[in-house]
Structure 1
Amino acid sequence: MKLLLPLLLAPLALAAPLSIFERRDAPPSTWSLSPRAPHPETILPLRIGLAQSNIHQLEASLLAVSDPESEHYGKHWSAEKVADFFAPAEEAVAGVRDWLAEHGLKETVKLSKSRNWLMVDVTVEQAEKLLATKYETYEHVSGSKRLACSSYSIPSHLREHIEIVTPTLHFDQPDGRPSPSHYKRSTTSSSTNPVKSSAVPGVARKLGSPSSGTIPKVSSSGFRNSFLNVLHELQDCAKVTTLDCLRVMYNFALYKPVSTSKNSLGIVEYTPQAYVPSDLDFFFANYSPSAVGSRPTLYAIDGGVVQQTDMGFGTNGESNLDLQYAMGLVHPQPVGLYQVGDEIQGASFNNLLDALDGAYCTYQAGDDPTQDGIYPNSENCGVAPLSNVISTSYGYNEADLTPAYEERQCNEYAKLGLMGVTLVFSSGDYGVAGNSNECINPADGSYTTTKAGTVFNPAFPSSCPYITSVGATQLPEGGSVLSREQACETVIYSGGGFSNVFPMPSYQKSAVASYFKNHKPSYSSSQYNNSMKTRGFPDVAANGANYNVAIGGAFGLVFGTSASAPTFASIITLINDARLAIGKKPVGFINPTIYSSLFKAGFHDIVSGGNQGCGTPGFSAVSGWDPVTGLGTPNFGVLLPLWLALP
């Protein structure tokens, strides 16, 4: 018996103490606990996101190549250098492997190409023992059922080596509706989140769905088969926005691309959104005849297809708008189309990142099956070429996703910036409210469009400090093409506000400090994050009203930051064109540059209008940066020589 005692105690002595890593206080309000327990042998695709080496140097590294005052400005990194520099330490990989091996999970564990993710398929029973949790079956009001847990734990000594584990707290929603929940953040993240209520309503609507809330809005007058009689009539730009209107408003009417073989602009679309070729030609025939017959270069990602089955504004409006104006503004510069996701599963931002950066690829290594499309092969890893500028007119509410999920993705945007990519995102169309004009109910964290929703609902990825967020403006009623714009308050309201997840980046501190000093809003912390320590957005703005778009062989007036983003991205593309022509590199991550005092003159300051929402007037456009129109709208004629003067 004495000999047996040490043998019995040995495993207990070696057992690592566990601590809760993430937890959820209550199930989402649209989900209820099902009496049917999950079968213990059900397979879960467990994915463990490893802490990346040198991640604390990410912002400094990005600023070093992006700050115009840095000696390293413009010296962008190669993809290989990025992957090597941020790859997890061998200690992290080995430590997590050992933990899995202790639970009999050794032979089946795989490491991703980038070494950022460990993945293993486990049974529910194995996952529960491993994570000290209990998976339950939850039923959505739509009738669908999913497995989830309310918390999970990991060994205390591995907290510094793990960033996220999936699937755990997340809820899949095949019907496309958001589901509110309460979420209590673990202390694994260093980001500031002073807001007392951290609502995380689960997965946002499917990005390309007509009900996603990100789709641009159309005028109540609908579409007209006959062309509006405004062709090249600049005096009517306050009523109808055209290519020529934008060229004059932003001072690039005389610029013609000259380095098209070296330059690149990419437009991102999420299936089922798809452009209609005949609509491109109908638009170009009226506004840019030399572009008739032009098509974007298709980069199909994870089954991406330019579907032509479901037609109409809901499925063609976004893509037609983005491509008609981006292609029209930069012609004859070719434009690439990142078409992401198939018609069945759709996709999310992580699926795009997989294709852009092979080192990030997380299929069988970390894409969240409850939020990202999961596909049957990894052939899309790193297959899409990196465009110098990438414009995306889709987004989530920041509260749709967990902070760990957002932070890991935001870091990847920073890595793309390190490689010289300018990432442009629209800021949203509902002012301080979230998609579909939904605010957060402080009583239970649910989304609502009623007066009960008083908490502002910031957007993601606009709240990520490593992308450029674009708000919306418009010409004043009765004004001319040269009139000073105002914040867009026709049909849509420019999205803007302050993050509940990301701390304020250093490049923005002076501008935001000036805003709070001179124009501090009267709202309390119960409505928005007024700590003056978190990321503010948008960064800039561009016209987002009355775009004349061809859809289904007819023209109609379209509104949204969905228009502002590709317009601003087109202007940066032309800046890159001029720099490439004289042997310089693309501008890459532009935020440190545009926030610098040197570039202040390159933007038209917007000082009127607001972005109402959540039962409030929202924020107001004021002198200097503001959370409605950012730094203002671009003046290409001023910005071009400034950027040409940089290394």
Structure 2
Amino acid sequence: MMRGAFIFSAALLSLSYAKPLLSRRYAVKETHAVPLEFSRVGEAPANHLLRLQIGVKQGQFDVLEKHLWEISDPDHSRYGQHLSLAEIHDLVKPTDESTDLVREWLHEHVSPEHIESSPAGDFFTFTLPVGKIEEMLQTNYSVYQHEDGSKIVRTHEWSLPLHLHEHITAVQPTTAFIRTVPQAKTYMTASGKGEHPRGPPSYEGKPTVDKVCDTGAVTPLCLRTLYGTVDYKPKVPGRNQVGLANYLGELNNRSDASIYLKNYRPEAISGAYTFKQISIANGTLQQTPDTPAQLRAGTGIEGALDVQTILGVSWPTPLLAWSTGGDPPFTPDADNPTVDNEPYLTWVNYVLQQDFVPQVISNSYEDNEQTVPYSYAKVVCSQFAQLSARGVSILFGSGDGGVEGVQPGGSCKSNVDGRTQFTPLFPSSCPYVTSIGATVNFKPEVAAYDPRNGFSTGGGFSNYFPRPAWQASAVEGYLHTLGDEFEGLYNRSGRAYPDLAVYGVNYTIIWNGSLIRVDGTSAATPTAAGIFALLNDALIARGKPSLGFLNPWLYKKGKKAFVDVTSGSAIGCNTTGFVAGKGWDPVTGFGTPRFERLLEAVGL
């Protein structure tokens, strides 16, 4: 009896040590080439704190994706039956095995009380010094400097215990050299800087494009007239909302918004002080005047463009603005942990925890896809899928560098082998978001290009995500016309973008109390958000669900509500870039919306 008990105890002792021993058998999980515009300048300080996010394999993401396709297909019986927060948590919750194994490993390196878990358990978050993270991931972090002088702490490779490779989907910040560039700051036109606002032009009778639109100074009245929302009065503001996301120190200044609305939409002036702001990860909610450094950097131009445009188009629809921290990317301060310049994941994981989320969200930021490791892009994209399944339309600007990608930094070169290639952008390349291109001129609208500053509306094909079924026919039609032009410069089988376009040149905004004009797909995107917010208002007022994920509806039925843009191109990489043409194209998508047609396309 005693001998049997001894053998049983010994077996338990052996099992109790099996996993810790196994956890010491490491192998490389991910390697990602350092982008060409970065250079290593030294070792990372061992005491520099990083906010680490560990993604755990989601239990039934394939089932969630199936639900998403069904509820977004206008011909499916489940169309519009968006999932609840609880239903999504049940689908993405990792298996008990994955959770137990990952927790056990984490507890070898981090005190359990310091680890935060997402509601679904698919993310663990904690703060550690670089030295400890290097032990944990069997890697070495360095300080890398971008060609613009900014610095970032990253590694080009990291490892995991072998038995965790199938259970952990991503660890960041590690190999992601994300810079999250706002798509308007760089493209401010200097000609209008310092002017006083003049207000919209005077006119008699009903506003028309000829009466109220000026290509040199685009106002909300022009946009509302051009796209047909000028006479629409929202019916259920409050039940319907619109959101915008700020990253990396961008500001939504209420005083500037008030001046703007007073001059360009006076009935909406109260909106400047009633829109809601939420800080995520110490994101700034600053309302004091810009500092000299902020003025030199143009801080707040993007934020001003976003908030003023949305309020100008969709008021009185309530607006919610998030500000996600993470700027500066690197400071040698051990007492100041940050999200370290990877805001998409931080933002979307926060939003996914909220009981209510605005039905349309505008994002005016992009990164060169190749600066984003595949694991990170895939995880962030899967989180966007959850948000889309809840009935949210997620919009991203398609970029301002044509086929070159984000500027500065678009090199037209592959990180991997240095070959010449067009540079797709992320998150526009994610198949669960809607990408917005830009146009210029009115009769007709053409693909946006501004020779004064090099702004060219972006478009392309993902190297990470395959072309989804809902856009196969439209894209194949364009590729057939394109033939072998640009062969080898892009991935013919990748998710193609943009999906649609909106006017995007010479927007008037107020920044630092003065009128300036800006270009960008980040001008087009908040305008599109405002238009779709009004469309949701009409749907909800009739007892129907919000549009949710737009693309399956857009490519099947919604496309008839858009005016085709057939001229212009996504200039870049010393080429014309992709050329706009009849039907869908990777420059302006299906073209620009008209509200009356949109109402008809959704059955109103």
Alignment TM class, shorter chain as reference: 0.7 to 0.9
Would the alpha carbon gap of residues 160 and 324 (structure 1) be closer, same or farther in structure 2, given more than 3 Å must change? same
Aligned match of 2:333:
none
Provide the secondary structure at the position in 1 that maps to 2:300: helix
Q: 1:615 aligns with which of 574, 579, 584?
A: 574
Q: How does 1:62-141 map to 2 (within 5 A)?
A: 62-99=68-105, 110=115, 112-113=117-118, 114-118=120-124, 131=137, 133-135=138-140, 137-138=142-143, 140=145
Which residue type is aligned with residue 275 of structure 1? N
Aligned length: 563
Structure 2 match to 1:354: 349
Match of 2:6 in 1: none
Instruction: Quote the residue 2:246 is aligned against.
Output: 269
Greater Cα shift, 348-357 or 9-18 = 9-18
Q: Equivalent residue for 2:311?
A: 327
How high is the TM-score relative to the length of structure 2? 0.83
Preserved CA contact (<8 Å) 1:38 1:135? no
1:50 aligns with 2:56: yes
**1:392 deviation in Å?**
1.3
Q: Which residue of 2 aligns with 1:449?
A: none
In 2, the alpha carbon distance for the partners of 1:643 and 1:306 equals 40
Identical amino acids, percent of aligned pairs: 32
What are the ranges of 5 or more consecutive residues in structure 2 without an aligned counterpart?
1-10, 329-337
In the other structure, the counterpart of 2:538 is: 578
Q: Which residue of 1 aligns with 2:594?
A: 635
Q: Does residue 1:463 correspond to 2:429, yes or no?
A: yes
Q: Write the letter of the residue equivalent to 1:254.
A: D
Q: Say if 1:413 and 1:467, in contact at 8 Å, map to a contact too.
A: yes
Q: Secondary structure at the match of 1:95?
A: helix
What's the CA shift string for 1:572-628, capped at 9, x where partnerless? 1111111111111111111100100x3332110110001111111111001111110
* 1:337 maps to amino acid: A
Q: Quote the residue 2:278 is aligned against.
A: 300
The Cα offsets for residues 137-185 of structure 1, whole Å up to 9 and x where unpaired, read as 5464899997655433334443221101345435xxxxxxxxxxxxxxx
Unmatched tracts of structure 1, length 5 or more: 1-5, 171-201, 359-381, 447-451, 476-480
SS in 2 for 1:625: coil
**Structure 2 SS opposite 1:589:** coil
1:588 matches 2:548: yes
Deviation at 1:67, TM superposition (A): 0.7
Letter in 1 for 2:535: I
Paired residue for 2:159?
153
Contact 1:329 1:570 in 2 (8 A): yes
1:535 alignment partner, SS class: strand
Residues 594 and 604 (structure 1 numbering): CA distance in 2 closer, same or farther, change over 3 Å? same
CA 1:335–1:229 in structure 2 vs 1: closer, same or farther (change >3 Å)? closer
Q: Find the counterpart in structure 2 of residue 534 from structure 1.
A: 494
SS of 2:407 mapped into structure 1 = helix
Q: Label 1:436 to 1:307 Cα distance change in 2 as closer, same or farther (>3 A).
A: farther
**Secondary structure at the counterpart of residue 509 of structure 1:** helix
Aligned equivalents of 1:223 and 1:357: distance in 2?
40
CA distance in 1, matches of 2:597, 2:514: 36
Among 232, 250, 258, the residue aligned to 1:281:
258
Deviation at 1:350, TM superposition (A): 2.3
Relative to its length, the structure with more helix (as a share) is 2
Amino acid at match of 2:164: L
Give the conservation status (yes or no) of the 8 Å contact 2:44–2:143: no
What is the CA–CA distance in structure 1 between the aligned matches of 2:405 and 2:487, rounded to whole Å?
A: 19
Q: How many Å separate the matches in 2 of 1:569 and 1:617?
A: 29
Q: Match for residue 203 of structure 1?
A: 178
1:502-560 residue CA offsets vs partner (Å, 9 max, x unmatched): 111111111111111123361132x222xx22111111000001222233443333211
Partner of 1:434: 405
The aligned residue for residue 485 of structure 2 is 522
Cα distance, 1:426 vs. partner? Answer: 0.9
Counterpart code for 1:624: G
Match of 1:220, SS? helix
- Identify which of 493, 496, 516 aligns with 2:456: 493
Q: Distance in 1 between matches of 2:373 and 2:589?
A: 26
What residue number does 2:22 align with? 15
In structure 2, C-alpha distance between the alignment counterparts of 1:71 and 1:161, rounded to whole Å: 35
Deviation at 1:38, TM superposition (A): 6.7
Q: Secondary structure at the match of 2:471?
A: helix
1:526-565 superposed matches below 5 A: 527-529=489-491, 532-565=492-525
Map of 2:4 onto structure 1: none
CA contact 2:33–2:416 (8 Å) conserved in 1: no
Deviation by residue 1:364-393 (Cα, 9 ceiling, x = unmatched): xxxxxxxxxxxxxxxxxx48x411111111
Gap change, CA 1:256 and 1:143, over 3 Å in 2 = closer
Deviates more, 1:454-463 or 1:506-515: 454-463
In 1, distance between residues paired with 2:240 and 2:570? 35
Cα deviation 1:62-117 (Å, max 9, x = unaligned): 1111110111111111111111111100011122334556x577866846132113
8 Å contact from structure 2 (residues 70, 79) kept in 1: yes
Could you say if the C-alpha distance between residues 226 and 319 of structure 1 is closer, same or farther in structure 2, counting changes exceeding 3 Å?
Answer: closer
Q: How far, CA to CA, are the matches of 2:152 and 2:122 in structure 1?
A: 27
Q: Does the 8 A contact of 1:541 with 1:564 survive in 2?
A: yes
Matched, 1:291 2:268: yes
How many Å separate the matches in 2 of 1:300 and 1:222? 30
- Alpha carbons 1:264, 1:333 under 8 Å: kept: yes
Structure 1 residue 231: deviation in Å? 4.3
Partner SS state of residue 395, structure 1: strand
Q: Which residue of 1 aligns with 2:189?
A: 218
Q: Which one of the candidate residues 240, 250, 266 is aligned to 2:227?
A: 250
CA distance in structure 2 between the partners assigned to 1:146 and 1:318 by the alignment = 22
Which residue is equivalent to 2:334? none
